[in-house]
Structure 1
Amino acid sequence: MKKLINPWKDMEGYNCFGCSPDNAAGVQMEFYEDGQEIVSLWTPRSEYQGWLNTLHGGVQSVLLDEICGWVVFRKLQTGGVTSKMETRFRKSVSTNEPYLLLRASVREQKRNIVFVRLV
């Protein structure tokens, strides 16, 4: 796996909730490229609880949204915004886990719409 360098990290005013390393309130995700996939290892923190020791669903959605954005940025060499997001949470995520592993890749592209597969 090759670590991806965040091209915006030194930009003045850059404070992305998802991937800015300097946003103390943010989730500070880092990304790696593994073949056709973008990968993130993320450590949950208790500040992101929705219920006792349970990661808030909104924070889970942020993680999904952010890695999908990086898939589009890296694999299609363009930026984009989320227009629709359908998610089924299969089980709760503990904030006591040492890390979460997210893997995402382009599933399909129809003109300017990109479908991303995430596991």
Structure 2
Amino acid sequence: MRRKIINPYNPQLNKCFGCSKTNPIGLKMEFEEVDNYIMAVWEPKEYYQGYINVLHGGIIATLLDEAGAWCVTVKMGTAGVTSELKVRYLKPVFMNRGNINIKARILKVEDRHVYLKCELTDGNGKICAESEAVFFTYPEEIAKRKFGFPGKEQFFEK
């Protein structure tokens, strides 16, 4: 099963660096649900480089973290915040190799903690970075009140 995930957050208020379409310096990530994981295809821009033609490591970590957050949101139906993020940089991400793919999937859930695995592949399909993350999740009503969570039904077309 594959379906596009809609970003239902108010574009006037949501300035998330990872996913907002209205943040002029943001990453503007978009996601799809594919079976048991979520994924994004992202086009690197030259102003996100560290070394010449190499994607900055902080941007790599942000891409992995954002994918994890959307995985929690879609799969768990609530908002969560990053408790831990361990990134392994396996090889440089050369920006001239095309779009980057980011995937995230849930490994396990313990109480309100969600454990995830994320990976980032370059335009040649080589895994360049991976992460393990733990997100702390909130009950849906608290997520709505504190974080503006719109409700799990808002992330897909009806």
Tell whether the structures are fold-level matches, with TM greater than 0.5.
Answer: yes
Structure with bigger helix share is: 2
- In 2, the alpha carbon distance for the partners of 1:45 and 1:58 equals 14
* Residue matched to 2:98: 98
Counterpart residue type for residue 58 of structure 1: G
Counterpart residue type for residue 107 of structure 2: R
* Residue matched to 1:75: 75
Q: Deviations over 1:45-70 (max 9, x none)?
A: 10001111000000001100100000
- In 2, the alpha carbon distance for the partners of 1:66 and 1:116 equals 12
Counterpart residue type for residue 59 of structure 2: V
* Residue matched to 1:3: 4
TM-score (norm 2): 0.72
Shift of 1:97: 2.5
Q: Which stretches of structure 1, 4 residues or more, deviate above 6 A after TM superposition?
A: none
Q: Deviations over 1:62-93 (max 9, x none)?
A: 10010000000000001011011111100010
Structure with bigger strand share is: 2
- In 2, the alpha carbon distance for the partners of 1:52 and 1:29 equals 23
How many residues align? The count is 118
- In 1, the alpha carbon distance for the partners of 2:25 and 2:68 equals 21
Aligned-residue RMSD, C-alpha: 1.0
Give the SS at the match of 1:93: coil
In structure 1, the gaps of 5 or more residues are none
Contact kept, 8 Å, 1:18 with 1:66, in 2: the verdict is: yes
- In 1, the alpha carbon distance for the partners of 2:97 and 2:67 equals 19
Contact kept, 8 Å, 2:11 with 2:22, in 1: the verdict is: no
- In 1, the alpha carbon distance for the partners of 2:77 and 2:26 equals 25
Q: Which has the larger radius of gyration?
A: 2
Counterpart residue type for residue 55 of structure 1: L
* Residue matched to 1:37: 37
Q: Percent identity?
A: 37
Does 2:8 align with 1:26?
no
Shift of 1:12: 2.6
Does 2:124 align with 1:113?
no
* Residue matched to 2:46: 46
